[in-house]
Structure 1
Amino acid sequence: MVDSPQATGTPNAVSHDVIIVGGGLAGGLIALALHRHAPDCRFLVIEAGRSFGGHHRWSWFETDIRPKARTLMAGFDLNGWDEGYDITFPRLGRTLPTSYRSLASAEFHAKLIAELPAECVMLETKAASLDAGGVTLADGTRLAAKRVIDCRPFKPSKALSGGWQVFLGQQFRCETPHGLTRPIIMDASVDQLAPHGNGAAYRFVYVLPLSPTDVFIEDTYYADQPKMDADVLKGRVAEYAHRNGWKGEVVDQEAGILPVISGGDINAALAEVAIPGVALAGARGGFSHPLTSYTLPFAVDNALAIAHLLASRPALTGEELADFCKRRSKRHWRTTAYYRMLSRMLFEAAEPDKRVVVFEHFYALQGKLVERFYAGRSTWPDRLRILAGKPPVAIPRAIRALFSSGKPLNMETPA
């Protein structure tokens, strides 16, 4: 049995084995994993918004998630493509065979609401403060817990360096079938200039055929500043739809600005957001791919690791769980150092309007190598192969970037 609750002595205190603060991807998957794999654990997930997951779409390659971990995503209403995916560059076009998956936050929310016990969920509830003994809500209610997990959003840190991935996507409902059967993960044949005020950038369009008539079109660019001109991006999405002859109406939209971390001091960054005795997970805890900003594979791994740990060690303290998550974060930082180096190459060695050449060089490589790259499991031969051949950037700039600590993440609040 997991620890029994202890009263706190306050009239409105409620005791739990685990409280998860933040019902985004990481927090929601931890709750689901606890429900499925640690059934004796009395947990509660608190989310400030009206639904789990906010308003997002998460996508991943099937090979990003290890086979034994894929069961956690069982039951979600996914979009999936087993015919592979396309990429397009000015001098390169390919179809790669890897299966691709995508999950909308509406389906994420629906599944969690259907499966998690109602008493384990608190939506539209803001946590005012967290500590090792529980959570205090904005209305003053005190919720006691043996363990607290902080899954709130990523917080930029002056201790980290890198750039930003800026995107806006719209779902079009076409008047006639659009004709696509595979996703287009990158169409970088488009103009490489970022919207005004953000300089040049690596830009591409990302396309998902969600049904015979629904298509999701996202304009994405890698830039030095966390700025978004939403009107310009909407216009670019509309232009792309028009170019492909897709007429219809916009039925959904999402936008975001994600960090692309190229270096820094992870210990200092974690110290800025850490609360003694509180575990850190999700992007706030550093669990993302440094170059692609993908988070779902790492969220799945962490959720299962936490659930299995609590199921096997019911006496585990909150401090021990916090240490467990911190060790995983630091190990993730070590194992992804290569990708941060590539991020520095992208942001420092390549001129902004030439960054497309870096990606074009990469996508010309062998398909299995690309799979392992996205999964964050590149082998040493993979790493050497990526850097081999005619350099897509000037050698002196590449050498400087190799030994650079990276450009500090701009602390300006993303628009």
Structure 2
Amino acid sequence: MDISLNETEIYRRYADRWSVLILTLAAATFLVSDWAVLYSSLGDFVLAFAVLLIFLLGKFHIQKKQMIVLLTVVTVLALTFILSYLYNDYWFSLRRAILSTVKLIFYSVSLVSLYNYIKQEQLSSTFLKLNNILAIATVVIGIILTILIYLDSLELPHFVWSFTRQDTRSYLYAGNDAIVRTRSVFSEPAHLGHYLNILFFSNVMHKKSQTKKTVLFILAAGILLTLSYSMILIFLISSATVLIARLIKGDFYWSDWYLVPVAILGGLIIYFWEYIDVTIIERTKSILSGEDGSANIRLFGAWTYVERDRLLMGNGIGHTPPITNIYAYILSDFGLIGFIPSIGLTLYMLLNSLPTFIFFVMMNMAKGGYLNPAFWMFLLFVFLYGISKEQNERDLY
């Protein structure tokens, strides 16, 4: 049985205005997901406001099959919670587990309600355009802050980063004052790259969206300016995957316009070759030689928190230190009880789209944080643009 509310009169009168507000709040959730407010993320409060509006305006809807998925999530949470409380009592934090459980249920319901609202109102293209606007603004802000840092003017960067990090490690490459990595409003460059990668992939996958090539170029440039090895690698692999898939299907058509961004990117690569050599070439050599500690932690160290004697139930929700691999994070916190459904979701991506599957796996292995709204916004974009069937949509812009 579906759960559905009656649409209010005030929504019917001003449907377009309410839609823009709700979609803007949802888009802004990602941008402030790193901002710490009241021991939580500011993105949590923005997301809660968006979902509350959907509920109050009578646009809240959950399908029967989605209820089954939500009940599965609750069942997994209940099983791991009970088992952890009974057998991990020597270090299990009941308060942390309760708060994390409530948070996870909130994220799950928010994901479903936002997805249903956008699909029912046929606003996927509008939502993507709003995100593109905010993303371009974010890249511009990032470039301005980067230039100011090069000029040794830190007042504005520190002001913008009042709710995140202000330490030099968050924007200097290996402590080198000569190499500044763009992070914009996020707490670190990799998080900006994560955000821009999601939008770039969503734009190229969403066939109904007539994204201007300049937007894709700005998103790509923003990813490169982060100098984040993992995010640049994901960008290159995912772009190549989509291109190959379209060549095989015969959906790719060459345009002479493509020579322009290629020439610009080529010029930038030549101009910034010294930076690229240090941050990409030398980094690749150190990873292949096994000398890069950060890469080893991402690939192998994240799994060290998995306890063999608690492999079934995990350590308890929210009990694993922040790690950059979602799969290791879930196995550590929820054990096989939660890990198996997550693998099922990954296989579901594979059955629907090979490029989406590859992108999904790479992104989950490069950034953790399932108790942060950014992860759930990532899932929203994947479901909307990575595996969703196309349909005719109205456009508010």
Instruction: With the length of structure 1 as denominator, give the TM-score of the two structures.
Output: 0.23
| Larger helix percent | 2
